[in-house]
Structure 1
Amino acid sequence: MSKANYIDDFHIWEGEFEYHLPVRVRFSETDMFGHLNNTVPFVYFEEARTEYLKSIGFMDQWVNPESKTIPVVADLQCDFLQQIFFGENLKVYVKAASVGNSSVDLHYMGKKEDGSVGFVGRGTLVQVSKTIGKGVPWTEEMRNLLLQHIIVK
């Protein structure tokens, strides 16, 4: 397996995930050879990220029309480790890897039913002001929510 530069020890990194979202590869997500299209994991990342953030108590605040902040994806990458095909069942994992002043580095992993890993990824999510578009620091409560979900082994 090729090594992504954001993963030091793959087995430790893999064991730190708690949250996952089940996904079944649809026909429309594949190319003419039946392979998962290279843009689709980013859609899976979005869905897993949104559900993960809901599960730890974040999305309610951001989707509230009164909220002064929103989450913005600042960067996103995906590293493909093996082919994935139409009809396969995947578990798309997401975890907070590190927390900054107004950002969080999220890591992703797409696992097949046999336990093998098809793709991995990472991206930075930044909380920004709706009006000026600049980063807004996490509240102490938000920071604690993120930090309590970082697993250190």
Structure 2
Amino acid sequence: MAAGSGWRDGWYIVPWQVIFRDIDTFGHVNNAVYFTYFEWARTSMWLELTGGSKSTDVSFIVVRAECDFRQQISMEPIEIRVRIGDMRTTAFDTHYEIRTSNGQQIAAIGKVVVVLFDWKKQMKTAITDELRKKVRLFQKEAE
């Protein structure tokens, strides 16, 4: 789990300090870096949900990713928020907000669709009822 991360208001929140490497020649975070932020939050959330601790505990693959950029981000502290949305048979949506100004300003929103994947069998796998229940519990949703 990323330091300072945790669940709040149905979101898994990962604090991050934007670093020099993330900034492009225009002085703001490069658009491609936002997807790295999404990845970091998604992986941190997944490991928290499943009790995993290493990269081999990540049992999904990305099949679609999108981002709407609302405002520029500079070298400042941000919050990366992630939550699981619709869960289908083998795939689920992850929704994101990247916030600045102590969580007050939304700089970007995004959605990534992932498919659960069995790395040994090299095939997708079904979302279990146990995982669905755990997601609802962590996100404090009614069953």
Tell me the TM-score normalized by structure 1.
0.76
Matched, 1:104 2:71: no
Residue 137 of structure 2 corresponds to residue 144 of structure 1: no
Overall identity of the aligned pairs, in %: 26
Name the residue aligned to 1:46: 39
Runs of 4+ in 1 over 4 A off after TM superposition: 150-153
Q: Secondary structure of the residue that 2:124 maps to in structure 1?
A: coil
Q: What is residue 4 of structure 1 aligned with on the other side?
A: none
Using the alignment, how far apart are the partners of 1:60 and 1:101 within structure 2? 25
Matched, 1:70 2:59: yes
- Which amino acid is 2:40 matched to? E
Shift of 1:139: 2.2
Structure with the largest fraction of strand: 2
Structure 1 residues 28 and 60: alpha-carbon distance in aligned structure 2, compared to 1, 3 A threshold: closer
- What's the counterpart of residue 36 of structure 1? 29
Matched, 1:18 2:2: no
Aligned equivalent of 1:12: none
Measure how far apart 1:113 and its partner are: 1.9
- Deviation sequence 1:61-92 (CA, Å, 0-9, x none): 9825xxxx93101111111001111x211000
Counterpart Cα distance in 1 of 2:56 and 2:20:
31
Structure 2: give runs of 5+ residues left out of the alignment. 1-7
Structure with larger Rg? 1
TM value normalised by structure 2: 0.81
Alpha-carbon offset, residue 53 of structure 1: 1.0
